[in-house]
Amino acid sequence: MARERYVGAPVDLEGRQYNQTVETMDYIQLLKNGFSLRWTDTEEKTWLKGRGRLPCCRRFGAMLLLLNWGFRMGSVSFLVLVILSHSVLLSSSGKEGKHPPNCSFFQCGKLGWLKFPFNNETNPECGLRTIVNCTEEAPKIQLERGGRHFEVKNIQGDTIIIQDEQLQEHLKHGRCDFIDNLTSSPSPSVFFTPVPTLTELTLFKCHRSHNIDLITEYNYTRCQDYIIHYNHSNHIPPTPPPPGCSIIQYPVNMSTVGIAKLDSLLTPDITLEVNVFSHCWNCLNRGGQCQDDEKGKFQCAHVKGNDNRLKLALGSGISAGGITILIICFIIRQRHKRKYASTFLSRNTSSDPSSQPGLETTGTYFGIPIFPYSELEEATYHFVPDREIGDGGFGTVYHGQLRDGREVAVKRLYENNYRRVEQFMNEVQILTRLRHRNLVSLYGCTSRHSRELLLVYEFIPNGTVADHLHGNRADSGLLTWPIRLSIAIETASALCYLHASDVVHRDVKTKNILLDNSFCVKVADFGLSRLFPTDVTHVSTAPQGTPGYVDPEYHLCHQLTDKSDVYSFGVVLIELISSLPAVDFSRLKHEINLSNYAINKIQKCAFHELIDPHLGFNSDLAVNRMTTLVAELAFRCLQPDKEMRPSMDEVLEILKEIESNRHELENMDAAADSVGSSMREPPPPSPDCDEVGLLKSVQLMPSPDSTTAQWASRSTTPSASA
């Protein structure tokens, strides 16, 4: 019997603010790793009568867990009812927290849609830090009350990129005495911390009174009282620093990497992580508002009711009892888990001779062949670096040839810890139950007793879509528009099949879309995929995926649905029509993520700035119309609210309709040639801008700008107008 975990009500849990607690409670890590959520109107009325409909990220002072673990010899069920009014362990930590009443997303110019802990000048009570000048080119934020204002370049989740104009002025005039580590004084409610990145420069700031001799690879700049030593070639500095010196880290201007001059290397653009204190979240949970008094002390204003002390005492007492029950449940579960893991693997491994020490032959595991480790080691020439062909999410992929002559791709786990083994088993279980011409085939794996865990796939020789769009195969020019449209359709078909099989891929990206020599699609890498129970609408789990492709609502609410794949596929569609990467730090700060860049262009009907001109956008009427329609479809997929996105079935239907009209469009283009040069002028950028639509049944979602009325008027979906 497979293990199941059911949760009878939303559990509010995020470990970041409570590391000291969760490190001693592996049970909390169990919850963080994800669980199924079973929720119906009937159950809602029975369990939480009178609470009303529950929004996605709403926090409660109560938690109802129904944990059910199945084992071969029987089952053990636990019903744990823990009422935690002010529990420290399960208190809200912050990122996906409750927001002040009557507060929702607000639009802030180029920054897009924002939410708590930020607010605008219209609703100052809806956040902890106000973004001003939203309607202007340079929105600004005040990190410290009474402090300087900084220009906001980009906001993604809990990360904000600001520009320090004062620092920019110092760099412009070559002044360096000011250089010091970036710090900010935290308020009682929120604080900002620099985010370490790979694009940082490590400096030594040494007082001139000390004569410091550094290795010759280090450059230096003389200031009035200090000498700044640095190495622009990214050597690792010696630690600890020499006497009289301090280590400073600063972000680097990527466009000047390789230049030795210090003021050219540094950038005034600073990436910060936003952190909200737990007592502020607790205040919000009680219906209060986080405020700082005149002395800078935290106070929770407008709290409903005056029984806080009673609640605290009651919550503390029941919390202790609840934690004790959780510990007991966890201990019992751990004992059964060891027994379960052994029987589970044994039951799914038939004829596995490797269970006998010293033997390495063949067998089956979940119905697929078991390969001896020695054969795969031989097939990949002992995993030499020259045989590496990619990164498989939780392991490196090597090209190999089996003794029977078959070419294969062998994925080798990075390390054999529990998490990696879980991903290994997850991919095996999912791929063995799926069969689709656009999914990569799993040939087999090594035994659970093997020295290393390896997965063996069919070898796909023509690289990835990312390679052909903006990688080492991009110069070949082989991805014409018809091929790109076919790639989009086949990928959508594979995702439709996955969703129909109750599987969410969770890592849809162009690097995971392989191409054979006929440019047919093979979707790969299921290490992060999740198998959905048939009776749930979503699974609550810590967000995982690739930056630039992760659904923002999944990142915010920790609720995974099939619409998360739809968002990622929207990014893939934009890559196919633009040939641009999903993340590019050489773009403007607010356009680093391709999704933001595309949404801005589409809202302005500036399709000519988004679509790759090499596809024939400016010269071919048919390509112009089809790429524009695909861009509009991608816009729907990239909506921040998952309810506004189409299903993958609808996406596939629209793509097929665009392809079916391709020949009609090409005939129109040919007719335009025969009429004369007047028809050769590039058409207006969007059917929505010139009120021309070739596919009248394509439903477009409203955009947040002035085109809303136009798009909503063409939509036949009731939810779109809402």
Has residue 87 got a pLDDT over 80? no
Q: What is the three-class DSSP state of 424?
A: helix
Distance CA 542, CA 353 (A): 38
Interval 443-455 mean pLDDT: 84
Residue given tokens 């004992």 in the structure block: 335
Task: Give pLDDT, residue 46.
Answer: 38
Measured in degrees and rounded to the nearest 5, phi and psi for residue 268 equal -80, 0
**DSSP conformational letter for 348:** T
Mean pLDDT is lowest, of 165-179, 555-569, 613-627, 693-707, for 693-707
All domains of the chain in start order, with CATH: 6-97+309-341 (no CATH), 106-286 (no CATH), 352-458 (3.30.200.20), 465-721 (1.10.510.10)
Alpha helices (H) along 348-407: 373-379
pLDDT tens-digit map of 493-516: 999 999 998 899 888 999 999 999
16: number of Cβ within 10 Å: 12
| Tokens describing residue 315 | 């919550």
CA 528 to CA 512: how far, in whole Å? 12
Whole-angstrom Cα Rg for the chain: 28
Q: pTM of the full predicted structure?
A: 0.48
Output the 3-class SS for 539-583: EECCCCCCCCCCCHHHHHHCEECHHHHHHHHHHHHHHHHHCCCCE
pLDDT for residue 611: 96
CB 583 within 8 A of CB 621: no
pLDDT band of 645, cuts 50, 70, 90: very high
Backbone angles phi, psi at 190, to 5 degrees: -145, 150
C-alpha to C-alpha distance for 82 and 8, rounded to whole angstroms: 12
Integer Cα distance of 111 and 108 in angstroms:
5
> What pLDDT, on the 0 to 100 scale, is given for residue 388?
92
The residue among 239 and 280 whose pLDDT is bigger is: 280
Q: Are strands 6-7 and 35-37 parallel, antiparallel or unpaired?
A: parallel
Classify residue 324 as exposed, middle or buried by CB count within 10 Å of its CB (0-12, 13-18, 19+): exposed
Q: Which of 61-70, 371-380, 490-499, 523-532 has the lowest mean pLDDT?
A: 61-70
User: What pLDDT does residue 260 have?
Assistant: 55
- Joined together, the tokens standing for residue 708 give 């809303």
pLDDT digits (tens, 9 = 90+) for 579-603: 999 999 888 888 899 999 999 999 9
Question: What phi-psi label fits residue 691: left (phi over 0), alpha (psi between -120 and 50 degrees) or beta?
Answer: left
Question: Any residues with CB less than 8 A from the CB of 313 and at least 6 apart, and which?
Answer: none
Tell which residue, 220, 244, 218, 250, has the closest CA to residue 231: 218
Calpha distance 489→652 (Å, rounded): 6
The mean predicted confidence, pLDDT, of the chain is 71
**Low-confidence winner among 180-184, 451-455, 628-632 (lowest mean pLDDT):** 180-184
The residues carrying an active-site annotation are 507
pLDDT at 525 (0 to 100)? 86
**pLDDT surpasses 70 at 284:** yes
| 140 close to 151: Cβ distance less than 8 angstroms | yes
How much is the pLDDT for 340? 45
- Measured CA distances, 23 to 26, 179, 275, 542 (Å): 7, 37, 20, 16
pLDDT at residue 204, as a whole number: 76
Q: Give the model confidence (pLDDT) of 95-109 as tens digits.
A: 444 556 567 788 888
Give residue 113's pLDDT. Answer: 86
Condensed to tens digits (0 to 9), the pLDDT of residues 39-48 reads: 434 333 333 3
Span 107-118, mean pLDDT? 85
Identify the pLDDT of residue 427: 82
For residues 187 and 145, the answer to whether their CB atoms sit within 8 Å is: yes
- Two tokens at 472? 């080492």
pLDDT computed for residue 520 by the predictor: 95
Q: Is 411 annotated as a binding residue?
A: yes
Confidence bin at 709 (pLDDT 50/70/90): very low
- Antiparallel, parallel or unpaired: β 513-515 and 149-156: unpaired
Q: Is 503 exposed, middle or buried (0-12, 13-18, 19+ CB in 10 A)?
A: buried
* Residue 2 tokens, joined: 């497979």
